[in-house]
Chains A and B, each alone.
Chain A
Amino acid sequence: SYELTQPPSLSVSPGQTATITCSGDELEDKYVCWYQQRPGQSPVLVLFEDDKRPSGIPERFSGSNSGNTATLTISGTQSMDEADYYCHVWDSNALVFGGGTRLTVL
C-alpha cells in the first residue's frame, strides 16, 4: 500500500516561514492535499490539488509538489497556525494520510 512520510514535528517563531514536507513514491504523479487540525477541533482542508486554497484559507498558505516530495509552506506564521498538519492522497480506491506534523509556534 502507498505510504506518505512527514516529519513528526516542526518549531518556528512567529513571523517566520514554516515548511512542512510530505514524501511518497512518485508523489508528483498524484494530487496532494493538506489538512490542519487544531487541538480539540475537526480537520480543515487548507490546500487541495497540490496548491489550491479553498475559500477562506489565508494566502500565507501555499503548496508545491515535485518529484517525491510535496511541500506546505506557511509564510509569516502566526500563533493561530499552531496545529497538526496532514498530507493526503487518493490511491487505488483508498485515501492515504501522512503521519502528521505538529507545528509549534514559539
Chain B
Amino acid sequence: EVQLVESGGGLVQPGGSLRLSCAASGFTVSNDCVNWVRRAPGNGLEWISVVSCGGRTYYADSVKGRFSASRDTSKNTVFLQMNSLRVEDTAVYYCARGGGGSGWDFLDYWGQGALATVAS
C-alpha cells in the first residue's frame, strides 16, 4: 500500500527556516517522482517543487532560491528545506507521488499534509 507521511511543520518567524520530511512506503523515491504542493488559507492548490525520479529538482517561481527539495533513498524519504520564510508561505504542505508518462503528469497518492505557519 502506497503511503506518504509528512512531518516537520510548525510555527516560525518571518525570515526563519523549516524542514519538512515526507516518508514514503509502498514505492521507492528513487523510482518515482515526489512533488510538494501547498494550500494557503483562502487559496487554492499551488505546486511548489518536484524531485524527479532521475534526482533532478524543479521549483515554482514563487519559491525558487528559497526552497530546496532533496531525497534520501536509504530512508525512502523526501525533504523540503524552506528558508527565508515569509508570512505568505503559511500553508498546509502536501507531498504527493507523481505518475504518468513523464513520471509526474498527475499526482496519484497524497500525504495528510503538514502545517507551516509563518508569523511574528
Contacts and interface: CB of A to CB of B under 8 A. Distances in A.
Q: Are A and B a genuine interacting pair, yes or no?
A: yes
Given A43-B45, A97-B47, A88 B106 contact: yes
A33 B94 contact: no
A86 B106 contact: no
B26 interface: no
Interface string B74-103: 000000000000000000001010011010
A84 B113 CA distance: 16
A33 B47 CA distance: 14
B58 A97 contact: no
Interface size for chain B: under 10, 10 to 19, 20 to 34, or 35 or more residues?
20 to 34
A33 B100 CA distance: 11
A48 B97 CA distance: 14
Interface residues of A, number: 24
Contact of A94 (B39, B58, B112): B58
A35 B39 CA distance: 13
16 contacts: A31-B106, A33-B106, A35-B107, A37-B39, A42-B112, A44-B110, A48-B100, A48-B105, A48-B108, A94-B47, A95-B35, A95-B37, A95-B50, A95-B107, A97-B44, A97-B45
